[in-house]
């Protein structure tokens, strides 16, 4: 099974301990990269931002990721700096998924927030919140984000579904 869902991390760490890390409850992971799948149309741009952990790739059969869904109701060419509350217009949802040969874990993160900053070619992405199991989540990543066009456009799909209901 291809891993296509993502993750956030747990709170309560000192700033130095948070560099490129994700924590959920008592578990810690190292964030080793970030990929932003994007789709856009005339009404906006959708990003599924994946924070990849412990060497996971989007093609990995096993691994851990946090996925943050960001929708900008205008056309943008890259992630926009700002702080976004999870569950609101721009940051619609966030989730953590981990698959191993012996264990599977999935958690929705809400409430919470995501902060994105950019300096040159690097981004700093930080998150905090509460998972659906009531454990604290926190994450931090600084580095490049790989952009890939999403072949399945949620923006276009949502518009088609909305038009059918009329």
DSSP letter, residue 73:
S
pLDDT above 80: residue 164: no
Domain borders along the chain are 15-165
DSSP letter, residue 53:
E
Whether the Cβ atoms of residue 52 and residue 36 lie closer than 8 Å to each other: no
Whether the Cβ atoms of residue 33 and residue 49 lie closer than 8 Å to each other: no
Confidence bin at 15 (pLDDT 50/70/90): very low
Q: How far apart are CA 122 and CA 23, in angstroms?
A: 22
Nearest alpha-carbon partner for 97 in 132, 126, 145, 148: 132
Q: pLDDT tens across 31-56, in order? A: 999 999 999 888 899 999 999 999 99
> What would you report as the CA-atom Rg of the chain, rounded to the nearest whole angstrom?
15
Whether the Cβ atoms of residue 3 and residue 65 lie closer than 8 Å to each other: yes
Question: Torsions phi, psi of 101, nearest 5?
Answer: -65, -20
Q: pLDDT tens across 69-87, in order? A: 999 998 899 999 999 999 9
Cis preceding-peptide flag for 144 (omega within 30 of 0): no
pLDDT above 60: residue 9: no
Written as six digits, the tokens of 71 are 């929708």
Nearest alpha-carbon partner for 160 in 43, 1, 22: 43
Q: Model-level pTM? A: 0.80
Higher pLDDT, 124 or 12: 124
């Amino acid at each position: 099974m291809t891993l296509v869902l993502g993750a956030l991390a747990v709170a309560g760490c000192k700033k130095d301990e948070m560099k490129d890390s994700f924590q959920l409850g008592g578990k810690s992971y190292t964030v080793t990269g970030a990929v932003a799948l994007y789709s856009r149309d005339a009404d906006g741009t959708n990003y599924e931002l994946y924070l990849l952990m412990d060497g996971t790739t989007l093609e990995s059969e096993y691994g851990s990721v946090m996925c943050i869904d960001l929708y900008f109701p205008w056309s943008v060419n890259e992630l926009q700096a700002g702080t976004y509350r999870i569950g609101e217009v721009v940051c619609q949802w966030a989730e953590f998924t981990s698959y191993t040969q012996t264990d599977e874990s999935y958690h929705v993160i809400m409430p919470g927030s995501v902060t994105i900053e950019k300096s040159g070619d690097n981004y700093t992405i930080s998150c905090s919140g509460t998972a659906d199991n009531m454990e604290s989540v926190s994450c931090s990543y600084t580095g490049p984000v790989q952009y890939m066009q999403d072949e399945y456009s949620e923006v276009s799909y949502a518009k088609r579904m909305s038009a059918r209901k009329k």
